[in-house]
Amino acid sequence: MSVPSHSFDRRVRLKTEPLRTIVFEHVCTLQDLSILDDSNHIGEPPVSAGMTEWQARFDGHLLSLSWDWMRTKDGTLIADTSVPPRSNLQPIDARGYDRTEHDTHAILWSVIGAMSWQPAARSNAPV
């Protein structure tokens, strides 16, 4: 079992596998059209955008995970992967070293991809 710890940078360090088992709960979803200015969407331009934040508790630590989303013309919500997710989580490798920034983003996107976040975000995001 991986024991999470806070560090000087206030991030919670966890090995990747325990991180994949954590169940996050929806905190809030907000519309923020300025996200469209920074997004690198492909295909049909999105009609709205915003951010969503989720939290979980793990071994006494509060974990936070948020990311930007875009709403397509047909109403589908998609994560805006052109901007990295924001989190206090820092995945570590088997030896306890921080994963690279690239690996960290990939791991967090895989966690987000496994979540069913769209229904909660859709019900809280203005149309």
DSSP 65-89: EEEEEEE-TTS-EEE-TTS--EESE
Counting the structural domains of the chain, the total is 1
In a domain, 4, yes or no: no
Specify the CATH number for the domain of residue 47.
3.10.450.610
In a domain, 72, yes or no: yes
In a domain, 2, yes or no: no
pLDDT at 57 over 90: yes
The pTM is what?
0.87
Instruction: Give the domain extent around 72.
Output: 9-124
Tell me the two tokens of residue 94.
Answer: 């088997």
In a domain, 45, yes or no: yes
| pLDDT confidence tier of residue 46, bands split at 50, 70 and 90 | confident
In a domain, 1, yes or no: no
In a domain, 21, yes or no: yes
Spatial neighbors of 44 by CB under 8 A, at least 6 apart, are 72, 73
The residue assigned the tokens 């709403």 is: 71
Identify the pLDDT of residue 97.
Answer: 95
